[in-house]
Amino acid sequence: MLEASHVTFKIGDKALISDVSVSFAPGKLHLLIGPNGAGKSTLIKVLARLLRPQAGRVEYESVDVRTASEPELARRRAVLSQAVEVAFPLTVREVVMMGRYPHFGGRPGPVDERITDEVMELCDVSEFSARNYRTLSGGERQRVNFARVLAQLWRDRASDLQVSCRYLFLDEPLTFLDIRHQLEFMKKVRALAEATDLVTVGVVHDLNLAARFADRIVLLNDGRVVSSGTAAEVLTTDRIREVFGVDTTFVPVEQGGIHLIFD
Amino acid sequence: MTTPSGSRQSLLFVLALILLLVLAASIRYGAIDFSIPEIGRALVSLLPGQPEPTLSQRIFLELRLPRAIFCLLVGASLGVGGTLMQALFRNPIVEPGLVGTSSGAALGSALFFVLGGMLNLSTGLWTLPLAACLGGVIATYLVFLLARSREDGRASIVMLLLTGLAVNALLMSAIGFLSYIARDPQARSITFWSLGTLSGASWRAVEIVALSTIVGTLIALRYSKQLNALMIGEEEATYLGVNVNRLKWIILSINVVIVAVATAFTGVISFVGLVVPHILRMLRGSDNRFLIVGSALLGATLLSLADLVARLSLRPAELPIGIVTSAVGVPVFLWLLRRRRYVF
């Protein structure tokens, strides 16, 4: 369980998020939506402890996240960012292996090697394992980084007792993906998020993708939580007009979901 | 671009072998050549109960041998310094000489010579290296402070290079002024500071540079994994459990100490720290554990080779080492940059 209570983060006098209280349960996919500048990425960074809020607290399983040491936190919290630039020639496998860095001291052990192979297989990047990361397309890079992030959170079925939750944050992961890769990515995340010890929080821009894949949606505006709940609860014509400034028509789709058309 | 760790280890082994060969050549050839039996007899004369060494044996023991070892250590520290700076600033064209560290250290040591000479200060063994470190720290800090953008506080590489150029010119003019008013013969030589020379080698210099180089490199090796994580960005490294600010301080300090201490005895030697990590990266990729060990070996090899060229080309006189490192280093560097396999 991840809980933020009365969190405020400011730069100078400007509050990027103010008095945000929200909680995220394991085993569910939570997606943050909101217009540009609503504070989605800031909230992700505060939740992941990259940014320290001036007020309020963030708790992982009722323990204040400020008390965790860096290496300890890195073993159970991972963040997939928008675009990762690599400064020097690195092979794809070297980039994925970085996800295991918090788990070994000097050199990777056999478990780290095996996990790296597994996540590369899962993310369809095994075939370019030896390629230079910098020669990859945006979509390929994103898959490599997703594999790296999964490697960081991967638990060895045999050796690890699942004592504490793992936390996966996705900061606008779809930005550089085409429609097919967006869908493939969301399906993969959807499947992973069902793990009972995994808390998954992501930021997406596409309201239809959010409505289709999220278990819970958190709608942010001006650094505050406007509404949270299921897609049907959060996405109403009035709210979308108020927050995004567009008019919406809802079309029911066969699978029991909704589709939004904007005017 | 396959880089199995086994092939890295075998390359390091080959580099170590080449270094030994170059070292052997470096102690044999120079203003006077020594044959292998002569070298053997000179070394034996150090054992207790042996007769006093002859003049030529003393030349070998007190000039040639410390110089060869000194050269090796300075080359290693420049190579490691280059690797650390490039890893830290995530940029392949940063080296200690380009961001003011070397010229700051040179100014620090020039000040030491001039002020020490003028005020007749009695100075201990560690004053010169300390003065060089202080100069190196201040100059590096100045370059980064001036190069930083007002908007996001980051130093772009163009700003860094231009600022480095300006600060280096300023420091060199200060050194020029000091050498003009200096009484100390070593400080008087402007070529010493601007082109570098290894003729100041002595066993004392070897001891001090050995300490800073070996300790600095061993500490740096402990941070090789964290430096690797930094390659994918500061934010990402933080997510992987790296305390980025702490890492920056540690690596900058190591770099300043190893480069400034060497510069205090040699003046500014450029391009070794720039070229060495590049060559290694092209051969076996960017893993920093490999790069740190490899750049110590390759830096030592290249500087020893350059020193051989400097000593042999105008026998019995010698060229300033900086002329050789630039003349060899710059074309190699340009050629390497233009090779297609190396994607920037």
Across the interface, which of B92, B229, B281 has its CB nearest the CB of A101?
B229
- Inform me whether the pLDDT recorded for A57 exceeds 90: yes
Does some domain include residue A44? yes
Q: How far apart are CA B244 and CA B236, in angstroms?
A: 10
Contact B247, B225 (CB under 8 A): no
Tell me the residue ranges of DSSP E strands in chain A. 2-11, 14-24, 29-33, 55-60, 63-64, 77-80, 166-170, 198-203, 216-221, 224-229, 248-252, 258-262
H helices, E strands: number in chain B: 16, 0
Query: Is B248 or A9 the better-scoring residue by pLDDT?
Result: A9
The total number of structural domains in chain A stands at 2
Q: Which of B45, B105, B66, B46 is nearest to B207 (CA)?
A: B66
Residues A14 and A56 in one domain: yes
pLDDT tens readout for residues B131-149: 888 999 899 889 888 888 7
Residues A70 and A186 in one domain: yes
- Inform me whether the pLDDT recorded for A232 exceeds 50: yes
Residues A170 and A68 in one domain: yes
The first and second tokens of residue B206, run together, are 């070897």
Would you give the DSSP letter of residue A88? S
Does some domain include residue A35? yes
Contact B93, B156 (CB under 8 A): no
Does some domain include residue A245? no
Residues A42 and A110 in one domain: no
Residues A132 and A23 in one domain: no
pLDDT score for B270: 82
pLDDT score for B344: 41
Kindly list the distances between the CA atom of residue B172 and the CA atoms of A88, B33, B34, B166, B169, in Å, as whole numbers in the listed order. 32, 36, 38, 10, 5
Does some domain include residue A65? yes
Residues A13 and A35 in one domain: yes
Does some domain include residue A126? yes
Q: How far apart are CA A35 and CA A37, in angstroms?
A: 6
Across the interface, which of A88, A99, A107 has its CB nearest the CB of B92?
A88
Which stretches in chain B have pLDDT values below 70?
Answer: 1-5, 117-125, 151-155, 157, 184-193, 333, 336-337, 339-344
Residues A116 and A174 in one domain: no
pLDDT score for B154: 67
- Residue A112's domain spans which residues? 92-158
pLDDT score for A10: 92
Residues A28 and A66 in one domain: yes
Chain B residues whose beta carbon lies within 8 Å of the beta carbon of residue A70: 238, 241-243
Nearest CA distance, A224 vs chain B (angstrom): 25
Does some domain include residue A85? no
Nearest CA distance, A28 vs chain B (angstrom): 22
Q: Where are the domains of chain B?
A: 5-338
CATH number of the domain where residue A25 is located: 3.40.50.300
Look-up: residue for tokens 């400080």? B187
pLDDT score for A87: 82
Across the interface, which of A50, A89, A98 has its CB nearest the CB of B229?
A98
The first and second tokens of residue B255, run together, are 């770099």
Q: How far apart are CA B176 and CA B188, in angstroms?
A: 9
Q: How far apart are CA A252 and CA A233, in angstroms?
A: 15
Chain A residues whose beta carbon lies within 8 Å of the beta carbon of residue B92: 87-88
Chain B residues whose beta carbon lies within 8 Å of the beta carbon of residue A91: 1-3, 285
Residues A168 and A59 in one domain: yes
H or E element that contains B308: helix B288-312
Does some domain include residue A134? yes
Kindly list the distances between the CA atom of residue A161 and the CA atoms of A185, B175, B271, in Å, as whole numbers in the listed order. 28, 64, 52
Does some domain include residue A243? no
| Residues in Cβ contact with B199 at an 8 Å cutoff, skipping those fewer than 6 apart | B67, B318
- Inform me whether the pLDDT recorded for A34 exceeds 90: yes
Residues A13 and A126 in one domain: no
pLDDT score for B1: 46
Query: Is B339 or A30 the better-scoring residue by pLDDT?
Result: A30
Nearest CA distance, A53 vs chain B (angstrom): 17
Q: How far apart are CA B66 and CA B42, in angstroms?
A: 13
B307 CB-side CA count, 13 A: 34
Strand A216-221 and strand A29-33: the pairing is parallel
Contact A65, A73 (CB under 8 A): yes
Residues A109 and A173 in one domain: no
Architecture of the domain defined by B5-338: Orthogonal Bundle (1.10)
